[in-house]
């Protein structure tokens, strides 16, 4: 075949960037497991009607059918690739409910597919990493605090360990907003929320006009709602600021209490990551309490790279309802621009720590034996593919970023750090590289 071109919207990483992705996923899944979430994977396809019936507003799905079924065969049910991990997880919970323990805490890292127009931060195939806690019939509010905590802990770890840009997790609460809007006299609180959701796009003046013209608010009420949306804080001080606006409603109080608990809990796990931001609306109408979105410093143009919230009905089989709270990391969405910018890099493009040089093809077995000993001791090792001159073998290592070259000598092996040029005698049974050289560093 001729040299193929990249397929727009289907990013593929070169090995060095893939090492960054692997580390990112390893750090996130470690955090998920420390927070007691179990891994689940679901099949890639779901019935079309299930995918179109719920979930994201965007319904650009990829339909899937057996090629051999032929164009005339309409007997198969219609299937499509999942476009998120929430819809398949809801189906998984219903299908396997009898074998699961509730509340069920699961994480799920998989690819999803959307037929939308590709652009920076928007792909047709991309990886998400989701955490959700799902209850049978009921789910206590304090689980919202746990989800915000694991999300904050995840981003803090990416920042501290992999040098990722700092994240701000902006959190609001639907009850708080709904109660507040009711308290200023709104009858259709969802309509008010929809207008507030446009703040970033059209600004407060326009939104104020819409609130009066389309939602029937008084000028004063509209201004009070806009004032609410300006309130932000990394601690519970926002509660006083809201109360100072003089609106009162029992649902508002409930929302304030929940949001305060979330900000407090998030702050305990990772200071200066979780921020109450009363402008956050999140378009999706299935959220019923906590709502979250995430901005990365320096990458604000990407919009929210991770988001989530509380939904009172993840799934229902007619008999039982399963409420949940969850959060989704847009892995590809944040990773691809960050590695493209060189903000985070791997120190080499291979896992290899040592290249064992080969003196002559007749002596290859000697080099292979050294490699076997080093590997058994947990040191990633390659044997030089060709008994070239040593200079060429060293360049083979250098081009891949392999830090050490090993030379087999009858009177005692030697190992060279090709960065410093230092060369020492060494025994494969005991030589140990510095810990930071053992695997590629990412940062």
Task: Name 12's Cβ contacts closer than 8 Å, sequence gap at least 6.
Answer: 6
Q: Which is nearer to its own copies, 22 or 441 (CB)?
A: 22
Would you state the structure tokens that stand for residue 110, as one six-digit string? 């998989």
Region from 94-102, 206-214, 245-253, 423-431 binding its own copies, contact rule CB under 8 A: 94-102
Tokens 């689940």 correspond to: 40
Q: What residues from 242 to 271 belong to the interface with its own copies (CB under 8 A)?
A: 265, 268-269
Q: Which of 28, 82, 92, 144 binds its own copies (CB under 8 A)?
A: 92
What are 328's two structure tokens? 């989704």
Our finding on whether 435 is near its own copies (CB under 8 A) is: no
| Calpha distance 403→418 (Å, rounded) | 6
Nearest residue (CB) to its own copies, 3 versus 201:
3
Query: Do the Cβ atoms of 32 and 130 come closer than 8 Å?
Result: no
Instruction: For its own copies, give the closer residue by CB, 222 or 314.
Output: 314
| Contact call for residue 321 and its own copies (CB under 8 A) | no
To the nearest whole angstrom, how small is the minimum distance from the Cβ of residue 144 to its own copies?
13
Binding mask 342-371 for its own copies (x = CB under 8 A): -------xxxx--------x--x---xx--
Least CB distance to its own copies at residue 195 (A): 29
End-to-end CA distance of the chain: 38
Which listed residue (24, 28, 106, 256) binds its own copies by CB under 8 A? 106
Among 95, 188, 285, 436, binds its own copies (CB under 8 A): 95
Of the candidate residues 24, 28, 37, 167, the single one contacting its own copies (CB under 8 A): 37
Q: Of residues 153-182, which lie at the interface with its own copies (CB under 8 A)? A: 153
- H-assigned helices in 163-301: 174-183, 189-196, 199-215, 219-229, 237-243, 250-269
Q: How many CB atoms lie within 10 A of CB 214?
A: 13
Which CB atom, from 92 or from 155, has the smaller least distance to its own copies? 92
- 314: CB partners within 8 A, 6+ apart: 86, 89, 90, 93, 132, 134, 322, 323, 324
Does residue 19 interact with its own copies by CB under 8 A? yes
Q: How far is the CB of 410 from its own copies (least distance, A)?
A: 20
Contact 358, 179 (CB under 8 A): no
209-228 binders of its own copies (CB under 8 A): none
The single residue among 117, 137, 140, 218 that binds its own copies, judged by CB under 8 A, is 140
107-126 residues near its own copies, rule: CB under 8 A: 111, 113, 115, 125
H or E stretch covering 21: helix 15-34
100 binds its own copies (CB under 8 A): yes
404-407/354-356 β-pairing: parallel
Distance in angstroms (rounded) separating the CA atoms of residues 357 and 187: 77
Instruction: Find out whether the peptide bond into 395 is cis, omega within 30 degrees of 0.
Output: no
Strands 125-134, 104-113: parallel, antiparallel or unpaired by DSSP? Answer: antiparallel
Question: Which of residues 147, 379, 405, 442 is near its own copies by CB under 8 A?
Answer: 379
Rule CB under 8 A: say whether 280 interacts with its own copies.
Answer: no
Binding mask 44-83 for its own copies (x = CB under 8 A): xx--x-x--------xxxxxxxxxxx----------xx--
């Amino acid at each position: 075949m001729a040299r193929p071109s990249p397929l727009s919207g289907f990013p593929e990483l070169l090995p060095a960037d893939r090492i960054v992705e692997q580390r990112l996923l390893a750090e996130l899944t470690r955090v998920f497991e420390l927070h007691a979430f179990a891994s689940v994977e679901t099949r890639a396809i779901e019935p079309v009607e299930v995918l179109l019936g719920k979930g994201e507003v965007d319904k650009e799905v990829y339909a899937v059918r057996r090629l051999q079924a032929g164009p005339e065969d309409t007997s198969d049910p219609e299937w499509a690739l999942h476009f998120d991990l929430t819809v398949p997880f809801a189906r998984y919970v219903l299908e396997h409910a009898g074998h699961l323990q509730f509340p069920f805490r699961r994480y799920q890292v998989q690819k999803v597919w959307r037929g939308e127009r590709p652009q920076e931060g928007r792909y047709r195939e991309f990886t998400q990493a989701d955490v959700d806690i799902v209850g049978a019939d009921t789910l206590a509010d304090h689980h919202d605090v746990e989800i915000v905590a694991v999300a904050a802990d995840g981003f803090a770890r990416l920042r501290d360990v992999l040098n990722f840009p700092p994240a701000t997790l902006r959190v609001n609460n639907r009850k708080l907003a709904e109660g507040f809007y009711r308290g200023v006299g709104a009858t259709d609180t969802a309509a008010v929320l929809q207008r507030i959701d446009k703040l970033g796009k059209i600004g407060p003046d326009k939104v104020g006009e819409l609130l009066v013209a389309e939602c029937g608010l008084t000028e004063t009420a509209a201004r009070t709602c806009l004032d609410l949306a300006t309130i932000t804080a990394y601690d519970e001080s926002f509660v006083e600021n809201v109360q100072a606006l003089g609106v009162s409603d029992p649902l508002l109080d409930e929302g304030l209490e929940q949001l305060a608990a979330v900000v407090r809990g998030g702050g305990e796990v990772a200071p200066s990551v979780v921020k109450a931001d009363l402008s956050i609306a999140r378009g999706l109408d299935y959220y019923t309490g906590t709502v979250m979105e995430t901005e990365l410093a320096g990458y604000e143009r990407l919009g929210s790279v991770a988001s989530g919230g509380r939904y009172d009905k993840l799934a229902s089989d007619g008999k039982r309802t399963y409420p949940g709270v969850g959060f989704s990391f847009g892995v590809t969405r944040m990773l691809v621009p960050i590695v493209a910018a060189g903000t985070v890099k791997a120190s080499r493009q291979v896992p290899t720590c040592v290249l064992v040089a080969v003196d002559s093809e007749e002596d290859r077995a000697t080099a292979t034996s050294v490699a076997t000993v080093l590997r058994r001791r947990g040191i990633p090792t390659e044997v030089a593919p060709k008994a070239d001159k040593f200079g060429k073998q060293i360049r083979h290592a250098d081009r891949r970023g392999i830090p050490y070259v090993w030379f087999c000598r009858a009177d005692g092996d030697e190992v060279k750090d090709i960065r410093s040029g230092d060369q020492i005698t060494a025994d494969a049974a005991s030589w140990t590289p510095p810990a930071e050289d053992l695997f590629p560093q990412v940062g």
